Structure 1
């Protein structure tokens, strides 16, 4: 497997930092003040808070936390494809949904920062962990 360049590591760290700062400004004040949200909004806000907290680890371990960025990229692409695009093509995209579309379009920069060769070798080509057999030597 080819090494990941320092440039890619800094690009990944920039993505994690974007998440940490962006959600730190938008989400964490409501979490800290214990804002009253309806059920779904509360779930979304708490998930975003967890995402930003885990992104802090990405600043230190950008490659180990890649699944976090892949998850973010994939769910936004799915939402844009199956929710926003049909509404847009039907001419039914309201202002609220359009705002979410613009928030999700940040994902457009993710593919340019991803070390795709590393992703391919680490998550597709690499042998998977054992399903059965001896336990690893790590106590736990």
Structure 2
């Protein structure tokens, strides 16, 4: 009896353009986690900060306050808000490659604040796993297909 609901949860769903319900709920989970953890942390820092800001640090916290607040919309419409996931995957992958990886190679990453951030970013493969890449490709990256209409021939136009 349990097999049928599990199969339906894993099968492509025509109501969601062929995206599996497990991916829809996975996206909703990550949008929820962004909203609860990242937004609350960023807004707390912004609202309690005293004194002048370092401009680059201020930009980082402004971005961290904004994009997870938008995750509220992703909870409601996860496929429409996939670009927010692309942004999240992109900045975390870039940060891991350019900041964390060299420190890890040098053996100086863990036990530092940078190591703590890197540890929180290591869930990146799970985030990438819930993205419906086929849908994303068709919707956001592939060239639109042109519909070629049958043009009447000269003889039929005269007709």
Residue-pair matches, total: 127
Task: Name the counterpart of 2:9.
Answer: none
Q: Out of 122, 126, 129, which is 2:139 matched to?
A: 122
Matched, 1:15 2:30: yes
Query: Does residue 129 of structure 2 align to residue 112 of structure 1?
Result: yes
Select the residue among 94, 118, 124 that pairs with 1:78.
94
* CA 1:24–1:123: 2 relative to 1, 3 Å: closer
**Equivalent residue in structure 2 for 1:28, among 37, 43, 47:** 43
Superposed CA offset, 1:94-115 (max 9, x none)? 6121112112223231122111
1:43 paired with 2:59, answer: yes
Q: CA RMSD of the aligned region, Å?
A: 2.1
Is the Cα contact below 8 Å between 2:39 and 2:64 reproduced in 1?
Answer: no
Identify unmatched segments of 5+ residues in structure 2.
Answer: 1-13, 146-159
Structure 1 unmatched ranges of 5 or more: 129-140
- Offset from partner CA, 1:56-105 (integer Å, 9 cap, x none): 11111111110111111111111111221112112233612111211222
Q: Answer with 1 or 2: which has the greater Rg.
A: 2
**Aligned partners of 2:64 and 2:144: how far apart in 1?**
32
Mapped contact 2:39–2:66 kept (Cα < 8 A): no
Q: TM-score, normalised by structure 1?
A: 0.79
SS in structure 2 at match of 1:127 = coil
